[in-house]
Amino acid sequence: MALDVAWALAWVRRTAEVVAEHKVELSELDREIGDGDHGENMNRGFVAVVGKLDALEAPPAQVADVLKLVATTLMSTVGGAAGPLYGTAYLRAAKVTGLESLDASAAVAMLEAALEGIVARGKATTGEKTMVDAWTPATTAAQEVAGNGSSPADVLAAAAAAAEDGAEATIPLVATKGRASYLGERSAGHKDPGATSTAYILRAAADTAAGV
């Protein structure tokens, strides 16, 4: 499937389904090291996104239009740190996807921009037990695959797999950023909820592109 507006719309709707399916898991992960509301917050945000898509009188013209709608909606409906972080990620991604269809390099640019937005907003880096620990390897994997002449779907597949590995790799980490950092050493042994939701979102992007 080409990474066009139809893909972007399908990605958003698939993300909403995946988040709804895993909202209890995400909240349980967050309850162990945070406020316990990550799943509910993300689900509320994507339910609102789908509602706005359904209410549009005309379909979006570009991928960027879809991502911008997601950004503004998440910023206004998702509580805690997730709303501003994901909102900034989608907004930065929208700024580099003003095309009718994305090739492999544009798919990489989308991921790079999202990561840059999260880092800028959250002032986080790798190893601090945050969603950056999933976004960074995802972006690196995407860059490496794109350099081998792969398709945009291949780029997203590599990113999703790396994000999943990155989320798992947060389990032994000690959180040094965000609310989880209040737990100190006790935060080790738990998977970061933001990294986990990142993996689900990128997997939804890859599966949609692959037509799975």
At residue 212, the pLDDT reads: 65
Instruction: Tell me which residue range forms the domain holding 75.
Output: 3-210
Q: Look at the chain and report how many structural domains it folds into.
A: 1
pLDDT of residue 107: 97
Q: How far apart are CA 202 and CA 167, in angstroms?
A: 12
Instruction: Give the CATH number, domain containing residue 168.
Output: 1.25.40.340
d(CA 82, CA 197): 10
Mean pLDDT of the region 202-206: 98
Instruction: Report the pLDDT averaged over residues 203-211.
Output: 97
- Indicate if the pLDDT at residue 171 is higher than 90: yes
pLDDT digits (tens, 9 = 90+) for 106-122: 999 999 999 999 999 99
Return the structure tokens found at 17.
């389904």
Contact assessment for residue 16 and residue 50, using Cβ atoms and an 8 Å cutoff: yes
Q: Tell me the per-residue pLDDT of 72-81, one tens digit each, with 9 for 90 and over.
A: 999 999 978 8
Q: What is the mean pLDDT of residues 25-35?
A: 93
Q: Which helix (H) or strand (E) is 101 found in, with range? A: strand 101-102
Strand partners, 175: none
Q: Are 138 and 101 in contact (CB under 8 A)?
A: no
Cα–Cα distance, 39 to 30 (Å, whole number) = 8
Distance of CA 102 to the CA centre of its chain: 18
Round to whole Å and give the CA distance between 165 and 61: 34
